[in-house]
Amino acid sequence: MPVKEPLQFGQTIGRITHICLYAVAMALLVFVLKWLQWKYLITDYSLDVYIALIAVFFTLLGIWIATQLTRRKVDTVVVEKHVYADEAFDEAELNKMNLTSREREVLELLVKGYTNAEISDKLFLSVSTVKTHVSNLFLKMDVKNRIQAVEKANRLKVRQPVR
């Protein structure tokens, strides 16, 4: 069962306004009917007038409800994406990560899109050793997955990104 969010102040005022308008319309309808009854008009055509007034009332109510239900709700989605404009090789940032030469080799192959098995064949390592190097890269680069590691490596110009 979905949890309903509490109404905000503006929504509460809007609903109270609608309720008050509805109450005033009902009061006016009762007043008009009593006035017509007083004038004896309603006694001659009572059934026809009542049916017509009820039909008009429910038609207007249906139109109002339809406009409320079909009103478009606009949701704004904000996506934050870092944009890096400088194209210079950031050797200082790369040195801050304290990558070993083997980790740099693994990172370069990651950027080229190699899998762990392909990296192990290329560097003559076991797959578990490659996984250890990749795990150490994630920690040192402060990323959570291969995609973020490749993105950060491309930004640091470890290798030119493939376009």
Residue range 12-42, pLDDT digits in tens: 777 888 888 888 999 998 888 787 776 666 5
Residues 116, 127: contact at Cβ < 8 Å?
yes
- The structural domains of the chain, with segments of one domain joined by +, span 9-69, 91-155
pLDDT digits (tens, 9 = 90+) for 130-149: 999 999 988 888 899 998 88
Which of these CATH numbers, 1.10.10.10, 1.10.357.10, 1.10.3720.10, 3.40.50.720, describes 91-155?
A: 1.10.10.10
Q: Residues 6 or more apart from 153 whose CB is under 8 A from it?
A: 107, 108, 110, 111, 141, 159
Query: pTM for the complete prediction?
Result: 0.44
